[in-house]
Amino acid sequence: MIQLQHLTKRYGDALAVDDLSFNIEPGHVTGFLGPNGSGKSTTMRMILGLDAPTSGQALINGRRYTSISKPMHEVGALLDANAVHGGRSAYNHLLCLARTNGIGPARVAEVLEQVGLAGVARRRVRGFSLGMKQRLGIASALLGDPDVLMFDEPVNGLDPDGVRWIRDLMRSLAAQGRTILLSSHLMSEMALTAERIVIIGRGRLIAEATVTELTARYPSLEDAYLALTAGSLEYGAAR
């Protein structure tokens, strides 16, 4: 489970995350939605200890990320598929990560197989397409077989087969009782993948509901999202 308790992040005068409190429960895919700049990535970075909260806290299974000794066994995340060393092979990239958490090469081979990159495991990441890098990022999140998984825009750059694969993967990981937090701007895909939705705007909680509840009140998840975030858009093109 992920618990946010009055989580707040200020950058200078700007409040990127403003007093967020909610729980992400195991056994579901929870979609994390919000307009550009609403604070989703900042929230995920704070959950992962990559950014320190200004106040409040984020807990993973009751503990702060920084107090977990082998974090890859508790939480896995894909935040930025391009954040990889291009000169390394996919296999070596994963092996380096695995070693930091006492994970052996057999598990590296297993996750490469799981994400469909076994055939290119010895190729340098620099030559990978965005979709291949997304798959590699997902492999690194899965390495420690964690209960809690977070994915920031994982379907970017994936072909239709990859999009379907991600959807099935997310749902099967949740069905195994894991906690899955998934951010995406693709509403139709989110409606097919997630059961629960958290919407934020300007760093604040706007709505927490199931997809079923939202689509009962609005014609579609996209309509629900657009109506609920209408007052929270920071960057909207003129129409």
**Residue 184 lies near ligand ATP (rule: CB under 6 A):** no
Of 41 and 179, CB closest to ligand ATP: 41
Q: Are 210 and 16 in contact (CB under 8 A)?
A: no
Of 34 and 144, CB closest to ligand ATP: 34
Of 50 and 175, CB closest to ligand ATP: 50
**Residue 38 lies near ligand ATP (rule: CB under 6 A):** yes
Concatenated DSSP letters for 136-175? HHHHHHHTT--SEEEEESTTTT--HHHHHHHHHHHHHHHH
Q: Count the residues of the shown chain that bind ligand ATP, applying the rule CB under 6 A.
A: 11
Q: What are phi and psi of 41, to 5 degrees?
A: -65, -40
Residue corresponding to tokens 């937090």: 181
CA dihedral 126, 131, 137, 140 (to 10 degrees): -90
Alpha-carbon distances of 106 from 109, 121, 168, rounded to whole Å = 5, 13, 24
- Which region among 30-38, 127-135, 166-174, 214-222 touches ligand ATP (by CB under 6 A)? 30-38
Q: Quick one: which of 18, 28, 29, 42 contacts ligand ATP (CB under 6 A)?
A: 42
Q: Are 201 and 231 in contact (CB under 8 A)?
A: yes
**Residue 16 lies near ligand ATP (rule: CB under 6 A):** yes
Q: 207: Cβ–Cβ under 8 A, 6 or more apart, which residues?
A: 197, 198, 199, 214, 224, 228
Which residues within the stretch 44-63 sit at the binding site for ligand ATP (CB under 6 A)?
none
Q: Quick one: which of 28, 40, 133, 135 contacts ligand ATP (CB under 6 A)?
A: 40
Q: Quick one: which of 26, 27, 37, 157 contacts ligand ATP (CB under 6 A)?
A: 37
**Residue 11 lies near ligand ATP (rule: CB under 6 A):** yes
| Residue of 117, 113, 142, 141 whose CA lies nearest to 127 | 117
**Residue 202 lies near ligand ATP (rule: CB under 6 A):** no
- Which region among 18-26, 33-41, 111-119, 123-131 touches ligand ATP (by CB under 6 A)? 33-41
Of 67 and 82, CB closest to ligand ATP: 82
Of 134 and 144, CB closest to ligand ATP: 134
Q: Quick one: which of 41, 134, 179, 193 contacts ligand ATP (CB under 6 A)?
A: 41
**Residue 83 lies near ligand ATP (rule: CB under 6 A):** no
Q: 51: Cβ–Cβ under 8 A, 6 or more apart, which residues?
A: 9, 42, 45
Q: Quick one: which of 36, 100, 176, 212 contacts ligand ATP (CB under 6 A)?
A: 36
Q: Mapping DSSP to helix (H, G, I), strand (E, B) and coil, where does residue 89 land?
A: strand
Residues that bind ligand ATP (CB under 6 A): 11, 14, 16, 34, 36-42
